[in-house]
């Protein structure tokens, strides 16, 4: 029983030390983050002042803040590509990924004996999934 208590106390001391080091690291990161934020605010303030001064001199007017923010941080994101692994023996045309797919073509490639099947999402025009390709094994269809 005493051995168990001693091991638990040692483990508790170790966890406390680790907790203190993590707390110190967090404080350092937090202070660095606040320094960076204040530095960024200073840069933005200087940029705004330069923009105001250049407008007063008669040069080309700068963009307002909302347009400048859109240019700096584009919001258009590339759609995600999600790949689903299927079993090699599965020759069904049903793909279980949550979308309804319609086969619209098939193409034989030069270096591959298996033709490639092309599918489109048939749920709606606003379907985020664009195209699905699948290797079709000729041996399964003969």
- What is the three-state SS of 31-83? HHHHHHHHHHHHHHHHHHHHHHHHHHHCCCCCCCHHHHHHHHCCCCCCCCCCC
Domains in the chain: boundaries: 2-72, 77-142
What's the rounded Cα separation, in Å, for the pair 96 and 55? 59
Residue 101 exposed, middle or buried by CB count within 10 Å (0-12, 13-18, 19+)? buried
Confidence class of residue 2 from pLDDT cuts 50, 70 and 90? confident
Architecture of domain 77-142: Single Sheet (2.20)
Reported as a single tens digit per residue, the pLDDT across 103-142 is: 778 888 787 777 777 777 777 667 766 666 666 554 544 4
More confident residue, 106 or 66: 106
């Amino acid at each position: 029983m005493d051995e168990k208590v001693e091991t638990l106390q040692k483990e508790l001391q170790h966890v406390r030390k680790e907790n203190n080091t993590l707390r110190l690291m967090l404080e350092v990161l937090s202070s660095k983050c606040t320094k960076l934020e204040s530095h960024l605010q200073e840069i933005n303030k200087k940029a705004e002042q330069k923009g105001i001064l250049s407008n007063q001199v008669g040069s080309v007017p700068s963009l307002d803040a909302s347009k400048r923010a859109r240019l700096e941080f584009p919001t258009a994101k590339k759609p995600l590509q999600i790949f689903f692994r299927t079993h090699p023996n599965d020759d069904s045309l049903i793909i279980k990924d949550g979308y309804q797919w319609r086969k619209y073509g098939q193409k034989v490639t030069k270096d591959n004996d298996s033709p490639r099947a092309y599918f489109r999402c048939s749920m709606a025009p606003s379907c985020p999934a664009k195209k699905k390709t699948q290797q079709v094994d000729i041996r399964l269809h003969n």
